[in-house]
Amino acid sequence: MQTYQGSTTLNELSIGEKVITSDHRDIALKETLGTDKYRPERKETTRVGKFFTLVAILLPPLGILSAAKLLWDTDLHLIDIYVFAGFYILTGLGITVGYHRLFTHRAFETNILVKLALAILGAMTLQGPLTQWVSDHRMHHLMSDQKGDPHSPVPSGNKLKDHFMGLWHAHVGWMFKTKGLWRNVNYAEDIYSNKVLMAVDRLYLLWVLLSLLLPFGLGYIMTSNIQIGLESLIWGGLIRIFLFQHATFAVNSICHKFGRRQYQTKDNSRNQWLVALLTFGEGWHNNHHAFPRSARHGLGKLQIDVSWLVIKLLKNFKLAKSVYLPKENQIVKLSLRLPK
């Protein structure tokens, strides 16, 4: 494995080919955000962006409600469970291993075929095109829980209402206001310069369509029964998308509000074991904000991190290299003394 070099805090953020460390964060912000080149493209999310966000968020639950009659008094078939679990795991890892750790933070390197597969699987979660996801998330780390963070739950006041609205903004509201503001080559030049990844990005709506058609197709092909095919669409498509979306959204909201802090960071990031289980390790969010480029988020003995296990498996099969992990002395330096 490859350990970090040069940064004592490991708080590195890649913006294209520029690497920013927390030691020089204030200088970096002045150098980047202080110029027109690195300012947001627009004041708020575009109408087209809001429309597709509304569809992505409302389609799964409305589809489930409209299909309630189909599911009523219908037994849950084993194939429904298989299709749901298979697509939840594969597309979820497309976000956690692909969109997040590989493309946003460059925690490891891999070949173009693995990149292609992870980019497509990530798009099938309906969380947005790769360029938008990467740009927004890099901006989140650069300005975490400060003005400019696309989805911070930090309240505007001290009233209960303010705290609730802060959580709402971080969970869902931001996608109608600040989503995609930083989607440009300046924040994702490594993605924009890759022709294969840009082809995947432009075909985003195709992957959304496949995310719904494939579960139906599998259910139908395996049983030759349209009824079961429709059930597979509901479980492996609509319900799966709905559950993983909100599990991921919880990283932005819950994991910046509730949980334990294991390491010193300049934000309110926290670890949440339940969110980590639902998102294959993404819930170890304080760990991640302390060491953003680390391929492993679950740094504790009992901190299950399925995404890290997948990256480790890829490395064992020589499909991953340049895997970044923090050094022991760097972990100790940022560690907080927690009550026993």
Distances (CA, A) of 93 to 58, 101, 282, 311: 23, 10, 10, 10
Q: Residue 320, SS3?
A: strand
Integer Cα distance of 178 and 169 in angstroms: 10
Is residue 251 within 8 A of residue 273, CB to CB? The reply is no
pLDDT at position 215 is 97
In angstroms, rounded to a whole number, what is the distance separating the alpha carbons of residues 226 and 220? Answer: 6
What pLDDT, on a 0 to 100 scale, did the predictor assign at position 216? 97
The pLDDT tens digits along the chain (340 residues) read 555 443 333 345 544 444 444 433 433 443 444 445 555 655 677 788 788 788 888 888 877 777 766 666 677 789 999 999 999 999 999 999 999 999 999 999 999 999 999 999 999 999 999 999 999 999 999 889 988 899 999 887 888 898 899 999 999 999 888 887 778 888 899 999 999 999 999 999 999 999 999 999 999 999 999 989 999 999 999 999 999 999 999 999 999 999 999 999 999 999 999 999 999 999 999 999 999 999 999 999 899 999 999 999 999 999 999 999 999 998 999 998 654 4
Q: Which two tokens stand for residue 33?
A: 């955000």
DSSP, res 73: T
**91 near 244, Cβ under 8 Å?**
yes
Phi, psi dihedrals of residue 40, rounded to the nearest 5°: -60, 150
Q: Which pLDDT score is estimated for 29?
A: 41
What pLDDT shows up at residue 41?
55
The pLDDT, as a whole number, for residue 7 is: 34
**Which long-range contacts link 310-318 to residues 24+ away (Cβ below 8 Å)?**
310/93, 310/97, 310/280, 311/97, 311/101, 311/107, 311/108, 314/108, 314/110, 314/114, 315/1, 315/108
Per-residue confidence (pLDDT) for residue 6, from 0 to 100:
31
| pLDDT at res. 187 | 85
Confidence (pLDDT) at 64:
76
Quote the CA–CA distance of 146 and 128 in Å, as a whole number.
23
